């Protein structure tokens, strides 16, 4: 248990050094979207953050007040308009065992339920980061005024990357088939000091968006 807690802490510490967008993607990038009035999507890192302790965004099912999904890493790509907002998410989960992997995969399995992303008010009011004092609520591009209630958005698109120990990674790659929204890396990719600068990781995550499913993405019209 101690080793697992130490691994979880190391992964979160490393992910905290990643930028406000998943490595390999641009600060403002996402997938195909329609409407000339639709603003570009804006990435923000929701988990882990430099501030606010445990007051970070989380995922849940509609109507659920207790069961929450708290990924080790969570990036939110806000889009739409103030009238019809949505969010695309990129999550990172470090799995220390195969049982842990099965549990976490089940939380992100395709479902007929709508997954919701909840952004607490303190997180929205806080600045984007140490080098950017812009309040997060302004950076989302979907809020017209300072929020007094949590921002709850439907998840439009979901991508999840799982970090596995060497033996589990090798076995999964040989005998299992990922779902289209899943990506897998050795745990060392998450615990590496400069992991976000790894060209192989960036190349993998460059495909973790809806735009990767199109030959070309036309301009909004």
pLDDT attached to residue 111: 74
Dump pLDDT digits (tens) for 47-67: 998 776 668 999 999 988 888
Dump pLDDT digits (tens) for 128-142: 988 889 999 999 999
Note whether 170 and 99 are within 8 A (CB).
no
Dump pLDDT digits (tens) for 106-118: 999 877 678 999 9
Rg (CA), the chain: 17
In the 8-state DSSP scheme, what is residue 220?
Answer: P
Note whether 134 and 44 are within 8 A (CB).
no
CB atoms within 10 A of CB 196: 18
The two tokens of residue 201 are 């990781």
Reported pTM: 0.89
């Amino acid at each position: 248990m101690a080793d697992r807690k130490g691994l979880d802490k190391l992964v979160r510490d490393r992910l905290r050094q990643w930028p406000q967008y998943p490595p390999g993607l641009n600060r403002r990038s996402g997938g195909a979207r329609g409407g000339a009035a639709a603003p570009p999507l804006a990435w923000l890192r929701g988990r882990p953050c430099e501030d606010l302790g445990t007051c970070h965004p989380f995922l849940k099912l509609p109507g659920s007040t207790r069961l929450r999904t708290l990924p080790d890493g969570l990036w939110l790509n806000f889009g739409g308009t103030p009238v019809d907002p949505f969010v695309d998410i990129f999550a990172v989960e470090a799995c220390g065992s195969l049982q842990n992997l099965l549990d976490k995969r089940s939380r992100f399995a395709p479902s007929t339920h709508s997954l919701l992303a909840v952004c607490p008010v303190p997180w929205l009011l806080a600045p984007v980061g140490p080098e950017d004092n812009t309040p997060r609520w302004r950076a989302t591009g979907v809020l017209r005024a300072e929020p007094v209630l949590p921002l709850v958005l439907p998840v439009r698109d979901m991508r999840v990357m799982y970090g596995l120990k060497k033996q589990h990674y090798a076995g999964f790659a040989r005998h299992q088939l990922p779902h289209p929204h899943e990506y897998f890396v050795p745990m060392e990719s998450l615990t590496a000091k400069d992991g976000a600068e790894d060209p192989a990781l960036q190349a993998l995550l460059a495909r973790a968006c809806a735009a990767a499913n199109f030959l070309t993405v036309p301009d909004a019209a």
